[in-house]
Structure 1
Amino acid sequence: MSPQELADFLLNEVRLLCRESQHEQALDVVEQAIKHATDPTQAWLIKGQILFGLHLYDDAIKAAEEALKYGDNAEVLKLKGNVIATKGDLEGALETFNELEKLASDDPDTYFLKGSIFAEMGNMDEAIANFDRAIEVRPDMGHAWYNKAMVFFNQERYGAAINALDSAIEFMEDATEPIFIKGMAHRKLGQSKEALECFLTAAEMWEMRALVTNSQTVYLEALTAIENALEIDVTNIELWKKRGKLLYKLGHKEDARSILINTAELCVQEDNITDALATYDLLLELEPDNEEAQKAREDIGNIA
């Protein structure tokens, strides 16, 4: 095995360690790869990526600069620029991405990264121009469409934002956030029906993901979508039930219990026994030992 073949073998081991979140071990192995590699550019790049993920930004930049000693490399410049931007040095990041453009003018990431920096700097015209260039190179670049849409949204150009979001939704693997933002744009335009449809779709997608991942963050995103929907359709019993369920999943059990009981009582007052029973069924699904809820449900059942 040649020194470079050994280095490549070690880098494959590094990738496996990173997948298992064993980053300290991965750093030890990548050091061995750097020592053995005839051209250690890739090894330095991977080391920089690991350090970036560990929030060791200065060390990540040093790793990128070591890699660049062996020649210009687009992926290394992307890493360096992203780390510099994360540190808050937007001018420095833009300078790095300008170097990237000289090297990779046919790479859509070049213009996406520049557009993102210009947006952060408040230069919206340049941001849109660069997102457009990224899209010109790669029309199905969903996150470029999304970032362009967000520039339009922040400029209160809601119609243009919706058009860009439609493309983002078409091309992004996970389109939940664009669907939610599209709902916000429709709402700004007074298009309540369209906004409600977007909020309900986003809430359902987030809730399904939360059930799989049990992520509190995703449950909170689903709750945010439901609360936006409720502001449009405040009398919707199903939305109140969903809000109660999501609050319960987020640990706000007393608030959830109160919402579900109040919803059930309101249903009874409106002679909507079916929804009252369904609401107590949901509460009992969440709290099978809730004797008060069980009794209330039985009382309502007797009315029916």
Structure 2
Amino acid sequence: MSENQDNMSPQELADFLLNKVRLLCRENQHEQALEVVEQAIKHAPNPTQACLIKGQILFGLHLFDDAIEAADKALELGDDAEVLKLKGNVLATKGDLKEAMETFNKLEEIAPDDADTYFLKGSIFAEMENVEKALENLDLATEIKPDMGHAWYNKGMILFNVERYGAAIKALDSAIDHMEDATEPIFIKGLAHRRLGQSKDALECFLTAAEMWEVRALVSRSQDAYLDALNAIENALEVDVTNVDLWRKRGKLLYRLGHKEEAKSILTNAAELCVQEDNIADALATYDLILELEPDNEEAQKAREEIGNIA
């Protein structure tokens, strides 16, 4: 221990060590972080915070029983809202819904004005398929914290699953207003509009979600994001199957996902259909896309030149 650390009070030393733990976690050095957090627990006059951080690290590492043990050690010193949230979430992740609910009931006793209390209870009731109790608790969460986007989203999902599509759309609109990444609620909103036969609104949602997922895929190179974008476009095609632009988007996404032959076949067929229908502008745009994806595609180049001469 350094001379500066020798001069620290026990609380100052514990705070210093916890700051080091946070830095190690940001650098994904979790094993070393666990070693340091043990030192913080040893030195802290009240180790509740250190035990909480230890439990959070263990939870992130999927060491659920160890995370619960850390939470229980903190709770021996007295009930703490954040520790109860951690323990309940670990139990819920393990599938122990009954114990998770008991933990969140205790949380409600000490934190009745905390929106998280009712969000967490609502989530457990949803897992238990108790729709009315789930909605009741999510309503309480959003009454306390109207900008709690993920509570609105969960409410929208529950309403969608019980086929209350109009109410689901209203909840999802609130989720979209208050979530930093609203791609998923926009997509689900599209599904709800489609179930109600509101094709124009559904199409707008699917296109917006697809564009957002594609941007994420381009930035992160995530195959999952490309798959989500493709799913949104395929849902859009169910609404408007003759939309050539949608077929172009589908072909492009398939190509990005590595399904190159299927993509080229879709795009070529779309271009040829456009020619048959005297839709020369869309035919040219489709061959332009093929050439954007494959600049050396001689067949596409030749077809485009022939269509260009016709035009």
- TM-score interval, smaller chain: over 0.9
The normalised TM-score by structure 1 is: 0.96
- The answer to whether structure 1 residue 230 and structure 2 residue 237 are counterparts is yes
Q: Please, which moves more after superposition, 96-105 or 36-45?
A: 36-45
Aligned with residue 91 of structure 2, among 80, 84, 100 = 84
Aligned with residue 192 of structure 1, among 181, 196, 199 = 199
Letter in 2 for 1:265: E
Partner in structure 2 of residue 71 of structure 1: 78
Partner in structure 2 of residue 268 of structure 1: 275
Partner in structure 2 of residue 14 of structure 1: 21
In structure 2, distance between residues paired with 1:185 and 1:282? 32
Partner in structure 2 of residue 36 of structure 1: 43
Partner in structure 2 of residue 244 of structure 1: 251
Partner in structure 2 of residue 159 of structure 1: 166
Shift of 1:33: 1.6
Partner in structure 2 of residue 114 of structure 1: 121
Letter in 1 for 2:219: V
SS in 2 for 1:86: helix
Partner in structure 2 of residue 294 of structure 1: 301
Shift of 1:171: 1.4
Shift of 1:289: 2.7
- CA deviations on 1:165-186 (whole Å, 9 max, x unpaired) are 1111111121111111111111
Shift of 1:288: 2.2
In structure 2, distance between residues paired with 1:24 and 1:281? 52
In structure 2, distance between residues paired with 1:26 and 1:291? 57
In structure 2, distance between residues paired with 1:54 and 1:262? 49
Aligned with residue 290 of structure 2, among 278, 283, 290 = 283
Q: Please, which moves more after superposition, 290-299 or 199-208?
A: 290-299
Letter in 2 for 1:107: D
Letter in 2 for 1:92: E
The normalised TM-score by structure 2 is: 0.94
Letter in 2 for 1:233: D
Letter in 2 for 1:213: S
- CA deviations on 1:25-66 (whole Å, 9 max, x unpaired) are 222221222222221111111111111111111111111111
Partner in structure 2 of residue 25 of structure 1: 32
Shift of 1:89: 0.7
- CA deviations on 1:77-115 (whole Å, 9 max, x unpaired) are 001000000000111100000010011001000000000
Shift of 1:265: 1.4
Letter in 2 for 1:119: A
In structure 1, distance between residues paired with 2:35 and 2:307? 66
- The answer to whether structure 1 residue 60 and structure 2 residue 67 are counterparts is yes
In structure 2, distance between residues paired with 1:214 and 1:129? 40
SS in 2 for 1:251: coil
Partner in structure 2 of residue 126 of structure 1: 133
In structure 1, distance between residues paired with 2:98 and 2:194? 36
Letter in 2 for 1:19: R
Partner in structure 2 of residue 103 of structure 1: 110
In structure 2, distance between residues paired with 1:268 and 1:174? 40
Q: Please, which moves more after superposition, 267-276 or 72-81?
A: 267-276
- CA deviations on 1:200-246 (whole Å, 9 max, x unpaired) are 11111211222211111111111111111111111111111111111
In structure 2, distance between residues paired with 1:11 and 1:285? 52
Q: Please, which moves more after superposition, 113-122 or 160-169?
A: 160-169
Structure 2 unaligned spans of 5+: 1-7
Shift of 1:157: 0.8
Q: Which runs of structure 1 show a deviation greater than 4 angstroms over 4 or more consecutive aligned residues? A: none
Aligned with residue 179 of structure 2, among 158, 161, 172 = 172
In structure 2, distance between residues paired with 1:79 and 1:247? 41
SS in 1 for 2:227: helix
Shift of 1:261: 1.3
How many residues end up aligned between the 2 structures?
A: 304
Structure 1 unaligned spans of 5+: none
SS in 1 for 2:242: coil
Shift of 1:11: 1.2
Letter in 1 for 2:32: Q
In structure 1, distance between residues paired with 2:58 and 2:177? 34
